[in-house]
Each structure stands twice: as structure tokens, then as C-alpha cells.
Amino acid sequence: PEPRAGVRSGHMPGAHNVPFSALAENGELLSKDRLRKVIEDAGIDLSKPVVTSCGSGVTAAAITLALETLGHTDNRLYDGSWTEWGGLSDTPVVTGKDRQ
């Protein structure tokens, strides 16, 4: 695939938003019960594999840590994350007008 001149706006199809800042309080991860609630409230099905991503892959590591803390081990971290995905011209992107 050919890279684009810039990164598109939007998100990957099927993506759910879990800000890494919602997973911690006072510099520590939330309790397992609270972590599970944040993740499930975001629409993530913990019975399925999860791929974490962010802008570049760095803060997605905090989400992966939270998932692993809950015993969810079928995780992958997309290292290139949105910078790579949104910068390619042939990857599907969901925007405000066609939200999923």
C-alpha cells in the first residue's frame, strides 16, 4: 500500500474507545472489578481476542496491561497504530458520518 501525505481522520472499523487515563487513579491501575467495568462499558467483549492501538502504539500498552491484569491473554498491540493505519490510502476508516 502507498502511504498518504497525511493521516486521515476517523478510526478503524470495529474500534472501541478506552482512554488509558480511565484505567488508573493516583498513578495505579484500578481494581480488577473497576478495570473490567471500564473495558466492558466501552463495548469490548472479553471473551474475544483484542487488538489495542492508539496514535502510535505507546499508550496502547497501558490498555494491554489492563487486559492482562484481568487475565485476558489473547491480546495483540498494533505497534504502528493509527499513524500507520490512517496514513495508508487503502485501509478502511470510519468517520463521524458513518460511525460504527
66 located within any domain: yes
Task: Pick the catalytic residue from 54, 62, 65, 66.
Answer: 54
Quick check: is 54 catalytic?
yes
pTM score, two decimals? 0.82
34 located within any domain: yes
Greatest CA separation found in the chain?
Answer: 43
Question: Distance (Å, rounded) from C-alpha 96 to C-alpha 74?
Answer: 30
pLDDT digits (tens, 9 = 90+) for 44-99: 999 999 999 988 778 899 999 999 999 999 999 988 888 888 888 888 888 876 55
Question: Distance (Å, rounded) from C-alpha 38 to C-alpha 91?
Answer: 28
Q: Taking the CA of residue 6 as centre, how many other CA atoms within 13 Å lie in the half-sphere pointing to its CB?
A: 3
61 located within any domain: yes
- Report the CATH number that the domain containing residue 64 is assigned in CATH: 3.40.250.10
Its domain, for residue 43, covers: 22-91
β-strands 50-52, 75-77: how paired?
Answer: parallel
pLDDT digits (tens, 9 = 90+) for 4-37: 557 778 888 888 999 989 999 999 999 999 999 9
9 located within any domain: no
